[in-house]
Amino acid sequence: MEILNKKERRNSFLLFVLIMIVTIGTLIAGLFFNNKLPWKENAILRKDIKQIRYELNYQQRFLNELKQMNIAIDSLDKSDENYIFIEKSINYDLVDLRKRIPKDSLKNYNLYDNMVLNYKKLIDAKSILKKMENSKDQIDKLNETIQENEKDIEELERALEISQRLNRN
């Protein structure tokens, strides 16, 4: 007894195997791409996270240094004798801080640079204000001297007028 549809059965079986291989291949390819692509994305995201952490750490250090400078700038108002020394010290610290800003590893380099420049402008403004305070004291002293001299002039004019009247008589 021989199977009558042996050829059809064999063709059907081979077709089944082919479809099964294609299906399993598709599943394996899907799993491969599903797992392989997130690894690349994860590597990129890890790199981005590392960059963001670096910027946050630098930002925190930068803010701590600016807080120290705020304390030094506030001490400018309180000291009269060491004013120039403190001002030069702060300017040196600002130049040093500006040099230490990493240009290529920060996205917002200009932000940090502008902060340093604004602090420099603040120190210059305080210096001008301090000079103006000294000028104001000098102006007040000169105004007092002018008032005293005007009183002396009035007294001398009276004395001159009295002496002219006496000479006429």
For every one of its 169 residues, what pLDDT tens digit does the chain have, with 9 covering 90 and above?
A: 677 888 899 999 999 999 999 999 999 998 887 777 777 888 899 999 999 999 999 999 999 999 999 888 888 877 777 778 888 888 899 999 889 888 887 788 888 889 999 999 999 988 888 878 778 788 888 899 999 999 999 999 998 888 888 888 6
140's tokens: 């007040």
28's tokens: 């394996």
Boundaries of every domain in the chain: 7-168
Kindly state the helix (H) or strand (E) to which residue 67 belongs, with its residue range.
helix 6-78
pLDDT of residue 1: 66
Beta-carbon count within 10 A of 80 CB: 9
On the CB side of 120, CA atoms within 13 Å amount to 14
53's tokens: 């952490």
Beta-carbon count within 10 A of 127 CB: 15
pLDDT of residue 17: 96
The reply to whether the predicted model has a pTM over 0.75 is no
Is there a contact between 72 and 94 (Cβ–Cβ < 8 Å)? no
Residue that is written with structure tokens 């925190």 in the block: 60
CB within 8 Å of 126: residues ≥ 6 apart: 73, 76, 77
Q: 3-state class of 113 per DSSP?
A: helix
Distances (CA, A) of 39 to 28, 66, 83, 98: 17, 40, 59, 38
25's tokens: 């291949």
pLDDT of residue 128: 85
